[in-house]
Structure 1
Amino acid sequence: MKTFLRAGALALALSAATAPAVLAQAAPPPAPTGADTLFKATTLNLSAYGETRVAPDMATITLGVMTEGKTAAEAMQANAARMAAVMASLRKAGIADRDIQTSNLNLNPQYRYQENQPPLLVGYQASNNVSVTVHDLKRLGAAVDASVSAGANQVNGIAFGLDDPTAAENAAREAAVKALAAKADLYARATGHRISRLVSLSEGGGYTPQPPMPMELFAMAAQAKDAGTSISGGELKVRIDISGLYELTR
């Protein structure tokens, strides 16, 4: 009798221990999340760009005056007098005050070096540079000529640009979207799919002002002496980069 009771108790204990495991196995799997659903979809991630070329309508030129003197005051006074003449010539050439901005002002001692001798101070060198924005490119050559004639002896570079790049950027955007759609259609057909929808679209790039181009002062001065400085703006390239995620279906 005792043996029977022990066996029955053991059977009940085993049944109770295994019941939760059976219930856990029977529980339904969790519903898929949005990320799981998106992962199961066939998608196409592509990038493309659009580009347009336009003529510049403005330019920025950096020019200046460098002078020397036996003392710092002498160098600075000579520089100030010559720069005042350069500024007056720019205004006379039709450049507004708001378009002339000081970009660099330096005063440096000048030394003579000899072997086995301490450096010998021989004077000072002063330099003053201004950035000049020209909104009418027809005035650009005349402005350069006038500044050189007035005493400018440094021309560091010229950069062409656009006063308002919006129209050029929008044209590049349209070209980029067309290129992206054509590329997506090609990939879809090549893999036996069709485009279901555009899931996302992102943009990068855009109009970037052109970096200054170096200019040789003496070559420009020689041209100015003969027939006036001739400067050509050429064309600017405006590029828009985009990326798109497409969902595909059979």
Structure 2
Amino acid sequence: MRVTRSSRLEWRLRLALGIGAAGLTIAAPLAAQTETSRPAVAATETILRVAGVGSIAAGPEVMTVTVGVVTTGESAAAALDANNRKLAPVIAVLRAAGIPAEQIQSSDLSVEPQFADTRNAVVDRILGFRASSAVTVQSRDLGSAGDLVSALFDAGANSISGPEFAVAEENVERLTRLAEAEALREARAQADSTAAALGMRVARVLWVSDSQVQLGKGSGYIIVTGSRIARTPIEPGEITVEASYNLEFALVPLPAR
């Protein structure tokens, strides 16, 4: 039988994992199966695995709006030039609203040909070109969202979406820590409750996973229609920061009474 390097490696791996030809797994001692970060478990201890989730609600502090303009021209250069001219007053409105330049970021720019509807033609015929561009804006003046969007539309914007609300970046870590602490408290409460129901108590924590954090976002709805904006009341509500942990506890029986 010819044995290649890859087959030798496969057999070594199978032997290391304790897997025989019949596919049987030889169980290792419990202490050897656990990760190095987990301490050994005594014979009198029972492992309990729980998941803790904690959430913190906070008011929105920052809104993000994406504003765009679309133009056409006989050539790509003409369409792009018209787009630049139409975007300029939109940028001017943003700056007049007191939004810093670093909070105004270009997020999209494209120029593409517009073809005639010649389905049976051998060669497509280009009618002109379409240019589109957009800027993404951040502002902390949440109360002016409706007025700002109306002014942008009046200035020539014909594509507006948002606003999207979030907490300020400098507060994310603080809120995350609060949510993580709540998740750990909730996990411990689960462990204590389960242990009590089993006639046991929590002896120690064996393992804690890294936290998983989700930052929620709120949104308002702005609809651009024809020559005016129809806007529903913008109610961003609360932003939720959620953290979760997986933990393992060692339970021991309660002393006999």
AA paired with 2:237?
G
Counterpart check, 1:221 vs 2:221 = no
**Comparing 168-177 and 78-87, the one that deviates more:** 168-177
Larger Rg, first or second structure (1 or 2): 1
The verdict on how the C-alpha distance between 1:211 and 1:121 changes in structure 2, with shifts beyond 3 A counting, is farther
Equivalent of 1:56, from 56, 60, 64? 60
Cα shift at 1:33:
9.0
Counterpart check, 1:186 vs 2:189 = no
**Comparing 203-212 and 112-121, the one that deviates more:** 203-212
Give me the whole-angstrom Cα distance separating, in 2, the residues matched to 1:174 and 1:219. 50
The verdict on how the C-alpha distance between 1:220 and 1:237 changes in structure 2, with shifts beyond 3 A counting, is farther
SS in 2 for 1:244: strand
Equivalent of 1:131, from 121, 136, 139? 136
Aligned to 2:146: 141
Equivalent of 1:174, from 170, 181, 187? 181
AA paired with 2:150?
D
AA paired with 1:157?
G
Cα shift at 1:39:
6.4
8 Å CA contact 1:223–1:230 kept in 2: the answer is no
Give me the whole-angstrom Cα distance separating, in 2, the residues matched to 1:57 and 1:124. 40
Cα shift at 1:62:
0.9
Aligned to 2:120: 116
8 Å CA contact 1:93–1:139 kept in 2: the answer is no
Give me the whole-angstrom Cα distance separating, in 1, the residues matched to 2:42 and 2:226. 63
Cα shift at 1:67:
0.4
8 Å CA contact 1:160–1:209 kept in 2: the answer is no
Give me the whole-angstrom Cα distance separating, in 1, the residues matched to 2:205 and 2:116. 70
Give me the whole-angstrom Cα distance separating, in 2, the residues matched to 1:217 and 1:176. 42
Structure 1 alignment gaps of length 5 or more: 1-31
**Comparing 100-109 and 191-200, the one that deviates more:** 191-200
Equivalent of 1:70, from 49, 69, 74? 74
Identity between Structure 1 and Structure 2 (%): 30
Using the size of structure 2 for normalisation, the TM-score is: 0.75
Per-residue deviation, residues 122-168 of structure 1 (Å, max 9, x unmatched): 11100011110112212322321221111000013332111122332
Using the size of structure 1 for normalisation, the TM-score is: 0.77
CA RMSD of aligned residues (A): 2.6
Aligned to 1:89: 93
Give me the whole-angstrom Cα distance separating, in 2, the residues matched to 1:209 and 1:106. 31
Equivalent of 1:244, from 241, 244, 247? 247
Give me the whole-angstrom Cα distance separating, in 2, the residues matched to 1:135 and 1:220. 27
Aligned to 2:205: 198
State how many pairs are aligned.
215
Structure 2 alignment gaps of length 5 or more: 1-28, 34-39
Higher helix share: 1
Give me the whole-angstrom Cα distance separating, in 2, the residues matched to 1:222 and 1:33. 66
Equivalent of 1:45, from 42, 46, 49? 49
Aligned to 2:84: 80
Aligned to 2:21: none
Equivalent of 1:157, from 141, 156, 162? 162
Cα shift at 1:234:
1.2
Give me the whole-angstrom Cα distance separating, in 2, the residues matched to 1:220 and 1:201. 57
The verdict on how the C-alpha distance between 1:65 and 1:209 changes in structure 2, with shifts beyond 3 A counting, is farther
The verdict on how the C-alpha distance between 1:115 and 1:207 changes in structure 2, with shifts beyond 3 A counting, is closer
Aligned to 2:104: 100
8 Å CA contact 1:58–1:162 kept in 2: the answer is yes
The verdict on how the C-alpha distance between 1:241 and 1:214 changes in structure 2, with shifts beyond 3 A counting, is same
Give me the whole-angstrom Cα distance separating, in 2, the residues matched to 1:249 and 1:172. 29
